[in-house]
Structure 1
Amino acid sequence: MSNERLTKVPEFLGELDGGVFENKVAAALSEVAFGVLNNGTKGKVTVTFELDRMSNSVEEKRVMIKHKLAYVRPTPRGKSSEEDTTETPMYVNRGGKLSILQEDQGQLFTLAGDPDAKLRAKQ
Protein backbone atom coordinates (compact mmCIF):
# COMPACT_ATOMS: atom_id res chain seq x y z
CA MET A 1 0.00 0.00 0.00
CA SER A 2 1.24 3.47 -0.84
CA ASN A 3 2.35 5.59 2.13
CA GLU A 4 0.19 8.49 0.91
CA ARG A 5 -2.94 6.36 1.48
CA LEU A 6 -2.05 5.50 5.07
CA THR A 7 -3.64 7.39 7.93
CA LYS A 8 -1.33 10.15 9.15
CA VAL A 9 -1.18 9.45 12.89
CA PRO A 10 -0.34 13.00 14.14
CA GLU A 11 -3.24 14.42 12.08
CA PHE A 12 -5.53 11.59 13.19
CA LEU A 13 -4.80 12.18 16.89
CA GLY A 14 -5.25 15.93 16.40
CA GLU A 15 -8.72 15.41 14.90
CA LEU A 16 -10.07 13.12 17.62
CA ASP A 17 -12.63 14.77 19.88
CA GLY A 18 -12.02 18.12 18.15
CA GLY A 19 -8.34 18.15 19.13
CA VAL A 20 -9.01 17.59 22.83
CA PHE A 21 -7.95 13.93 22.88
CA GLU A 22 -4.37 14.82 21.92
CA ASN A 23 -4.20 17.19 24.92
CA LYS A 24 -5.63 14.50 27.21
CA VAL A 25 -2.90 12.05 26.13
CA ALA A 26 -0.21 14.68 26.69
CA ALA A 27 -1.54 15.48 30.17
CA ALA A 28 -1.80 11.78 31.11
CA LEU A 29 1.78 11.07 29.96
CA SER A 30 3.11 14.03 31.95
CA GLU A 31 1.15 13.16 35.08
CA VAL A 32 2.19 9.50 35.03
CA ALA A 33 5.84 10.36 34.32
CA PHE A 34 5.84 12.78 37.26
CA GLY A 35 4.31 10.13 39.54
CA VAL A 36 6.87 7.52 38.44
CA LEU A 37 9.76 9.90 39.05
CA ASN A 38 8.53 10.96 42.51
CA ASN A 39 7.45 7.53 43.77
CA GLY A 40 9.81 5.07 42.09
CA THR A 41 7.16 2.59 40.91
CA LYS A 42 5.82 1.86 37.46
CA GLY A 43 2.94 3.73 35.85
CA LYS A 44 0.87 2.94 32.79
CA VAL A 45 -0.88 4.85 29.99
CA THR A 46 -3.19 2.92 27.66
CA VAL A 47 -4.92 4.21 24.51
CA THR A 48 -7.59 2.00 22.94
CA PHE A 49 -9.48 2.52 19.66
CA GLU A 50 -12.71 0.73 18.70
CA LEU A 51 -14.04 1.28 15.16
CA ASP A 52 -17.63 0.61 14.15
CA ARG A 53 -19.42 1.31 10.86
CA MET A 54 -21.88 4.17 11.32
CA SER A 55 -24.69 2.64 9.26
CA ASN A 56 -25.46 -0.53 7.35
CA SER A 57 -24.77 1.30 4.09
CA VAL A 58 -21.30 0.68 2.64
CA GLU A 59 -21.78 3.84 0.54
CA GLU A 60 -21.67 6.17 3.55
CA LYS A 61 -17.97 5.40 4.14
CA ARG A 62 -17.92 6.61 7.73
CA VAL A 63 -16.92 4.93 10.96
CA MET A 64 -17.42 5.89 14.58
CA ILE A 65 -14.15 5.71 16.47
CA LYS A 66 -14.45 5.20 20.21
CA HIS A 67 -11.18 6.29 21.82
CA LYS A 68 -10.39 5.43 25.40
CA LEU A 69 -7.54 6.82 27.47
CA ALA A 70 -6.73 5.08 30.75
CA TYR A 71 -3.79 5.66 33.05
CA VAL A 72 -2.39 4.56 36.37
CA ARG A 73 -0.19 7.01 38.25
CA PRO A 74 1.90 5.95 41.24
CA THR A 75 1.29 7.88 44.47
CA PRO A 76 3.10 7.83 47.84
CA ARG A 77 0.48 5.44 49.28
CA GLY A 78 -0.38 3.34 46.22
CA LYS A 79 -1.77 4.42 42.88
CA SER A 80 -4.37 6.65 41.27
CA SER A 81 -6.18 5.77 38.05
CA GLU A 82 -8.47 7.50 35.60
CA GLU A 83 -10.33 6.50 32.44
CA ASP A 84 -11.88 8.71 29.75
CA THR A 85 -13.87 7.52 26.72
CA THR A 86 -15.13 9.70 23.85
CA GLU A 87 -16.22 9.13 20.23
CA THR A 88 -15.44 10.80 16.90
CA PRO A 89 -17.03 10.08 13.49
CA MET A 90 -14.53 9.88 10.61
CA TYR A 91 -14.55 9.22 6.89
CA VAL A 92 -12.75 6.22 5.43
CA ASN A 93 -11.15 7.58 2.27
CA ARG A 94 -9.42 5.78 -0.59
CA GLY A 95 -7.07 3.08 0.70
CA GLY A 96 -8.54 3.24 4.21
CA LYS A 97 -7.10 6.65 5.11
CA LEU A 98 -9.05 8.11 8.04
CA SER A 99 -9.88 11.82 8.24
CA ILE A 100 -12.53 14.07 9.74
CA LEU A 101 -13.42 15.44 6.27
CA GLN A 102 -14.11 13.46 3.13
CA GLU A 103 -11.24 13.81 0.63
CA ASP A 104 -13.28 13.47 -2.57
CA GLN A 105 -16.52 15.44 -2.34
CA GLY A 106 -17.39 15.20 -6.00
CA GLN A 107 -17.37 17.70 -8.84
CA LEU A 108 -19.33 20.84 -7.94
CA PHE A 109 -18.57 22.96 -11.03
CA THR A 110 -17.86 22.44 -14.71
CA LEU A 111 -14.63 23.68 -16.30
CA ALA A 112 -16.49 26.86 -17.31
CA GLY A 113 -17.38 27.55 -13.68
CA ASP A 114 -21.08 26.71 -13.96
CA PRO A 115 -22.71 24.41 -11.40
CA ASP A 116 -22.55 20.78 -12.41
CA ALA A 117 -25.79 19.58 -14.05
CA LYS A 118 -26.37 17.12 -11.22
CA LEU A 119 -26.67 20.00 -8.76
CA ARG A 120 -29.26 22.03 -10.68
CA ALA A 121 -32.71 22.01 -9.20
CA LYS A 122 -35.42 20.59 -11.44
CA GLN A 123 -38.07 23.12 -12.35
Structure 2
Amino acid sequence: MSQEDRKTNVPDFLSELDAGVFENKVSAVLNDVALGVLNNGGKGKVTIELDFARISNSMEEKRVEIAHKLKFSAPTPRGKRTEEDTTKTPMYVGKGGKLTIMQEDQGQLFSLQGQPEGKLKAIN
Protein backbone atom coordinates (compact mmCIF):
# COMPACT_ATOMS: atom_id res chain seq x y z
CA MET A 1 0.00 0.00 0.00
CA SER A 2 1.53 3.29 -1.07
CA GLN A 3 1.57 6.48 0.97
CA GLU A 4 -1.11 7.93 -1.35
CA ASP A 5 -3.48 5.01 -0.61
CA ARG A 6 -3.30 5.82 3.10
CA LYS A 7 -4.49 9.41 2.73
CA THR A 8 -8.08 10.34 3.42
CA ASN A 9 -9.87 11.27 0.21
CA VAL A 10 -11.14 14.73 1.19
CA PRO A 11 -14.01 15.05 -1.35
CA ASP A 12 -15.26 11.56 -0.35
CA PHE A 13 -14.82 12.40 3.34
CA LEU A 14 -16.88 15.59 3.06
CA SER A 15 -19.60 13.87 1.04
CA GLU A 16 -19.90 11.11 3.68
CA LEU A 17 -20.39 13.46 6.65
CA ASP A 18 -24.00 13.28 7.86
CA ALA A 19 -24.84 11.07 4.83
CA GLY A 20 -24.11 13.90 2.39
CA VAL A 21 -26.24 16.50 4.17
CA PHE A 22 -23.19 18.34 5.54
CA GLU A 23 -21.84 18.91 2.03
CA ASN A 24 -25.20 20.40 0.97
CA LYS A 25 -25.21 22.66 4.04
CA VAL A 26 -21.72 23.94 3.23
CA SER A 27 -22.79 24.68 -0.34
CA ALA A 28 -25.89 26.59 0.80
CA VAL A 29 -23.95 28.57 3.43
CA LEU A 30 -21.22 29.55 0.94
CA ASN A 31 -23.89 30.88 -1.44
CA ASP A 32 -25.73 32.70 1.37
CA VAL A 33 -22.64 34.41 2.76
CA ALA A 34 -21.34 35.38 -0.69
CA LEU A 35 -24.70 36.96 -1.58
CA GLY A 36 -24.84 38.77 1.76
CA VAL A 37 -21.38 40.27 1.19
CA LEU A 38 -22.20 41.25 -2.39
CA ASN A 39 -25.62 42.79 -1.61
CA ASN A 40 -24.87 44.43 1.75
CA GLY A 41 -21.13 45.05 1.89
CA GLY A 42 -19.23 44.15 5.00
CA LYS A 43 -17.46 40.85 5.61
CA GLY A 44 -18.81 37.35 5.90
CA LYS A 45 -17.27 34.33 7.56
CA VAL A 46 -17.71 30.54 7.23
CA THR A 47 -16.07 28.21 9.75
CA ILE A 48 -15.95 24.40 9.63
CA GLU A 49 -14.88 22.75 12.87
CA LEU A 50 -14.19 19.01 13.27
CA ASP A 51 -13.93 17.35 16.71
CA PHE A 52 -12.80 13.71 16.94
CA ALA A 53 -13.59 11.24 19.75
CA ARG A 54 -12.98 7.50 19.98
CA ILE A 55 -16.33 5.70 19.96
CA SER A 56 -15.41 3.07 22.54
CA ASN A 57 -12.51 2.23 24.80
CA SER A 58 -11.70 -0.76 22.60
CA MET A 59 -8.89 -0.31 20.09
CA GLU A 60 -10.32 -3.26 18.12
CA GLU A 61 -13.30 -1.29 16.84
CA LYS A 62 -11.10 1.35 15.12
CA ARG A 63 -13.88 3.91 14.85
CA VAL A 64 -14.13 7.57 15.74
CA GLU A 65 -17.08 9.88 16.02
CA ILE A 66 -16.60 13.15 14.18
CA ALA A 67 -18.65 16.14 15.35
CA HIS A 68 -18.79 18.56 12.44
CA LYS A 69 -19.79 22.11 13.19
CA LEU A 70 -20.68 24.65 10.53
CA LYS A 71 -20.77 28.29 11.63
CA PHE A 72 -21.37 31.32 9.49
CA SER A 73 -21.88 35.04 9.67
CA ALA A 74 -23.45 36.93 6.75
CA PRO A 75 -23.90 40.70 6.51
CA THR A 76 -27.46 42.09 6.36
CA PRO A 77 -28.70 45.64 5.68
CA ARG A 78 -28.83 46.37 9.46
CA GLY A 79 -26.03 44.20 10.85
CA LYS A 80 -25.29 40.52 10.46
CA ARG A 81 -26.94 37.13 10.75
CA THR A 82 -25.15 34.19 12.35
CA GLU A 83 -25.97 30.52 12.67
CA GLU A 84 -24.29 27.39 14.01
CA ASP A 85 -25.15 23.76 13.18
CA THR A 86 -23.50 20.64 14.65
CA THR A 87 -24.02 17.01 13.62
CA LYS A 88 -22.02 13.80 14.17
CA THR A 89 -20.82 10.97 11.94
CA PRO A 90 -19.05 7.73 12.95
CA MET A 91 -16.16 6.69 10.69
CA TYR A 92 -13.63 3.90 10.49
CA VAL A 93 -9.92 4.62 10.83
CA GLY A 94 -7.92 2.50 8.38
CA LYS A 95 -4.21 2.03 7.76
CA GLY A 96 -2.24 5.23 8.15
CA GLY A 97 -5.28 6.96 9.69
CA LYS A 98 -7.39 6.96 6.50
CA LEU A 99 -11.01 7.90 7.32
CA THR A 100 -13.84 6.05 5.57
CA ILE A 101 -17.52 5.48 6.24
CA MET A 102 -17.18 1.74 5.50
CA GLN A 103 -14.45 -0.51 6.84
CA GLU A 104 -11.77 -0.97 4.17
CA ASP A 105 -10.71 -4.51 5.07
CA GLN A 106 -13.58 -6.65 6.25
CA GLY A 107 -11.55 -9.83 6.25
CA GLN A 108 -12.04 -13.07 4.35
CA LEU A 109 -15.59 -14.35 4.81
CA PHE A 110 -15.56 -17.28 2.37
CA SER A 111 -13.00 -19.72 0.97
CA LEU A 112 -12.40 -20.14 -2.76
CA GLN A 113 -14.92 -23.01 -2.72
CA GLY A 114 -17.58 -20.71 -1.23
CA GLN A 115 -17.52 -22.25 2.25
CA PRO A 116 -17.57 -20.05 5.39
CA GLU A 117 -14.05 -19.20 6.50
CA GLY A 118 -12.59 -19.42 10.04
CA LYS A 119 -14.83 -18.18 12.84
CA LEU A 120 -17.98 -18.39 10.73
CA LYS A 121 -17.67 -22.22 10.79
CA ALA A 122 -17.67 -22.28 14.59
CA ILE A 123 -20.95 -20.38 14.91
CA ASN A 124 -23.55 -23.04 14.16
State the TM-score, normalizing by the size of structure 2.
0.95
For 1:95, the equivalent position in structure 2 comes to 96
Give the secondary-structure state (helix, strand or coil) at the position aligned to 1:16: helix
1:58-97 superposed matches below 5 A:
58-97=59-98
**Residues 66 and 78 of structure 1: CA distance in aligned 2, closer, same or farther (over 3 Å):** same
Superposition deviation, residue 117 in structure 1:
3.1
**Percent identical:** 64
Distance 1:105 1:81, change over 3 A: same
Shift of the alpha carbon at 1:121? Answer: 4.0
Q: Secondary structure at the match of 1:58?
A: coil
Deviating 4+ runs (over 4 angstroms): none
Q: Which runs of 5+ in 1 are unaligned?
A: none
Q: Does 1:3 align with 2:7?
A: no
Number of equivalent positions:
123
Deviations 1:65-116 (A, max 9, x none): 0000000000000000000000000000111000110000110011222111
Gaps of 5+ in 2: none
- Hey, what's the Cα distance between the residues in 2 that align with 1:122 and 1:92? 28
Alpha-carbon distance between aligned partners in 2 of 1:54 and 1:106, rounded to the nearest angstrom? 21
User: Cα 1:86–1:34, aligned 2, differ >3 Å: closer, same or farther?
Assistant: same
Aligned-pair RMSD on alpha carbons? 1.2
| TM-score, L = length of structure 1 | 0.96
One-letter code of the match for 1:21? F
Farther off after superposition, 26-35 or 113-122: 113-122
